[in-house]
Structure 1
Amino acid sequence: MNMNDVIGKITGKKKSEPVIGIDITNEAVIISQLRKTKNGIELEKLVSASTPQNAIRDGEIIDTGSVAQVIQELMEKNQIVATKALTTVSGQAVIIRTIQFPSMSPKELKEVVLHEAERYIPFAMEDVNVDFQILEEIEDEGINKVEVLLVAAQKQFINSYVETFVIAGLKLIGIDVASFAVARALSSVENGSLGSGEPIVLVLIRGETTDINVFQNGMPKFSRSIPIGSTTFIETIATNLSVSLEEAIQIFDKVVVPLAGQNVSDDQMVELASNEIRTTLRELTTEIQRSLDYYQSQGSERVQQLILCGRGAKIKNLDKHLSMNLGLDVEISNPISNIQFDEQKYSAEYLMDNAPVFVTSIGLAKRGVEEF
């Protein structure tokens, strides 16, 4: 399969047919549909359903049939009429590297990048799809260079998504990197590309992983994935409190990061859970700090702002905790501020409360209206 068909596709022919964004994790399937109006971009559809248990493992869709059924049921129930879709891969299923090469012709650059890719990809080349994009031309000590974004994904992961969409009766016209979809959702005409001027770090906490990405002037500068996600917190609660996974999910949605002098909750189980997640929270905070330390050790400009995304961003006080421990301005992602919506269909409170969870799907749908 040609990687250009599934990852890193930057341009496309304009189509009037809607292209929906479908974000799939081991926790939820989320579908977004946007449309262009004379006043901007408007939300048409935004729906979600739980992912069948054990259907996804380590980023790969194991039970393609059951996930496809969830997609079909969501579309039928909510009258979503579309035949084309975009989706994402994230976590350890995808390798992202930013590399510099001496300036050369496009043909030469392609040969060099694909040859050098072996140095950066910890898998056999025959087992991965590889693509690259030129980010910018730079001058380093009098030498003209190009900065290249290298993206690689294991074929077994890509194939599991392709198969799922075939079963669901949809044409998968592109597979994006989740953090890139988030960056698109958070960019706007008024505010420009993500990280305009100073670099910004996106921390996408969802499912089985957390993706840490630094963007500057809309371009990815650093990427790392760690095996700690919202599912990690939920499983910790289930194990340590001896409750079912379903109960742990309900408790997780109420947990609070304990801050000095603050009462966590009047609910005893929530208070216990809030204390049980301390170790996982400490590990997550440490890994974010390590990532930023490494990024800045390469001579990069200091990061001052962090944006929290994904289901993990809904943990109460997590933004305050990270701000205090990392010394950064921390905010929770809000893609809703960049789009219009009908308040008779979607309440502002509901959208704002779930904005960090919907951000990836909205970014995909935004690409759908802007590029296809």
Structure 2
Amino acid sequence: MIRLPLFHYAPIGIDIGSKSIKMVQFSKDYATIQEAASFDFPEPIAAEQDFDAYLAQLKQTLQRARVGRNFRGHDAIFCIHQRDLFLHNIRVNKNESKALANIVQQEAADRIPYSMLDAEIRFVESAELRQGEQTLREVIIMACFRPRLEALLELFEETGFRPISVDVEPMAILRAFTKQYRREADEQDRVLYVHVGYSNTAVIIAEGTQVLFIKYLNVGGRHFDEAVCRQLDMTMDDAVNLRRHSADRRRSQQTPEVERSVLNAMRDELERLHQELAMCIRYHSVTFRGRPLVRIVLSGGEATETLRAELERTTTIETELGDPLRLYDAPQVLGRHGQWDIAVGLAARQLGGKEA
């Protein structure tokens, strides 16, 4: 009998962003990055305005993504974008006899913006907290519109992928960084993860791998670009290039006057981000008492040294630039490492970690 070799490849993590797709695949032993690539959409199309046109563009980009690349196999894990994710926090009596899943269904029925028949619902149990004489448990409800999810699954199959799992962005972000924990103390630390993307900012507060808080903020790279365009009276393309090149240069190569002008032009949007983060930090300190936030991990496509310094200055919390690739052999030039956090977290899902 002739035995053919059995090939097995790690799944491809696919992060579908607002203006690009990022894909990461580990080697079989998860020690190195097999392949990583980013692909911009031909033109930005808002899925909520024209979902069919968005699907057509997504299909075109996914088909292009594998041409000439070193991705292997068909298994893929993708995540639900923020625009398709409904988030809501509830508090449940710890001694409640009714099954938590039933309580979640009842709470979701009153709040989600579509029929329960069309809803895909998951939940994450957060920490216990005291409210008067009661001991309550915070629960984070997550839901998405099933017909839209099914359309995405069908599209992935049409483009040659085999979806084996669906995740949400906050869980992928958390997994990307908690996989780096090596000390027992890391499991006790409370950390504020700030993922600043193009269209929004995802905020996750966690104690080790346990999620305490999730919120999306309506501020991101697009708002920074628009502010620079407006304040410096230049075209949007020029504003994008100026901000990108200024942030990506090494400190020794940066022009202080240009950097200061860009930062001042973004000041109102940065202040809005700082105010939103301050409310998240206050919510944590009031709700989850006992341990302070020990650090902020900044990631996403907008994670730069300038923004890191701004967050540390305004929050007075030690802030680091998150590097989701730190543990892995990644010989390629991948630009800002922080932009790969979601794709890395998706690709690492089968290694374990928090799941929705």
Q: Which TM-score tier does this pair reach, normalised by the shorter chain?
A: 0.7 to 0.9
Match of 1:87 among 59, 72, 78: 78
CA distance in 1, matches of 2:318, 2:37: 31
**Alignment partner of 1:305 is 2:287:** no
Give, in angstroms, the shift of residue 142 of structure 1.
8.9
- 1:313-352 residue pairs with structure 2 within 5 A? 313-314=303-304, 316-341=305-330, 343=331, 346=332, 350-351=333-334
Moved more, 233-242 or 108-117: 233-242
Give, in angstroms, the shift of residue 130 of structure 1.
1.0
Maintained 8 Å contact 1:26/1:53: no
**Which residue is equivalent to 1:132?**
123
Match of 1:233 among 218, 224, 228: 224
CA distance in 2, matches of 1:331, 1:368: 27
**Which residue is equivalent to 1:277?**
266
Q: CA 1:285–1:240 in structure 2 vs 1: closer, same or farther (change >3 Å)? A: same
**Alignment partner of 1:293 is 2:275:** no
Maintained 8 Å contact 2:93/2:137: yes
CA distance in 1, matches of 2:74, 2:319: 38
Give, in angstroms, the shift of residue 161 of structure 1.
3.1
Secondary structure of the structure 2 residue equivalent to 1:337: coil
Maintained 8 Å contact 1:25/1:59: no
Maintained 8 Å contact 2:129/2:288: no
CA distance in 1, matches of 2:118, 2:102: 19
Maintained 8 Å contact 2:189/2:207: yes
Q: Report the AA paired with residue 46 of structure 1.
A: A
**Which residue is equivalent to 2:13?**
21
Maintained 8 Å contact 1:197/1:216: yes
Give, in angstroms, the shift of residue 57 of structure 1.
4.2
- 1:108-123 residue pairs with structure 2 within 5 A? 108-119=99-110, 121=112
Give, in angstroms, the shift of residue 177 of structure 1.
1.4
**Which residue is equivalent to 1:12?**
none
- Cα RMSD for the two superposed structures: 3.5
Maintained 8 Å contact 1:24/1:88: yes
Maintained 8 Å contact 2:88/2:140: yes
Structure 2: where are the runs of 5+ without partners? Answer: 1-6
Secondary structure of the structure 1 residue equivalent to 2:325: helix
CA distance in 2, matches of 1:194, 1:186: 15
CA distance in 2, matches of 1:241, 1:205: 23
**Which residue is equivalent to 1:7?**
none
Match of 1:218 among 197, 205, 209: 209
1:88-130, Cα deviation, whole Å (9 max, x unpaired): 2243432334544345799833222211223554555445321
**Which residue is equivalent to 1:187?**
178
1:191-240, Cα deviation, whole Å (9 max, x unpaired): 26996212111111102111111011201111111111112212333344
**Which residue is equivalent to 1:363?**
345
CA distance in 2, matches of 1:59, 1:312: 25
Maintained 8 Å contact 1:237/1:276: yes
CA distance in 2, matches of 1:167, 1:86: 15
Q: CA 1:59–1:252 in structure 2 vs 1: closer, same or farther (change >3 Å)? A: farther
Moved more, 237-246 or 139-148: 139-148
CA distance in 2, matches of 1:168, 1:293: 45
Moved more, 26-35 or 114-123: 114-123
Maintained 8 Å contact 2:16/2:81: no
Q: CA 1:267–1:296 in structure 2 vs 1: closer, same or farther (change >3 Å)? A: closer
Structure 1-normalised TM-score? Answer: 0.79
1:31-56, Cα deviation, whole Å (9 max, x unpaired): 1000243xx52210011121222234
Q: CA 1:66–1:192 in structure 2 vs 1: closer, same or farther (change >3 Å)? A: farther
Q: CA 1:145–1:323 in structure 2 vs 1: closer, same or farther (change >3 Å)? A: closer
CA distance in 2, matches of 1:288, 1:150: 21
Q: Report the AA paired with residue 20 of structure 1.
A: I
Q: CA 1:193–1:358 in structure 2 vs 1: closer, same or farther (change >3 Å)? A: farther
Maintained 8 Å contact 1:209/1:230: yes
1:160-217, Cα deviation, whole Å (9 max, x unpaired): 5334423422222222111211111112365269962121111111021111110112
Maintained 8 Å contact 1:59/1:90: no
Give, in angstroms, the shift of residue 333 of structure 1.
0.7
1:250-293, Cα deviation, whole Å (9 max, x unpaired): 2221345xxxxx9972675x654332111111111111111111
Structure 1: where are the runs of 5+ without partners? Answer: 1-14, 257-261
Secondary structure of the structure 2 residue equivalent to 1:203: strand
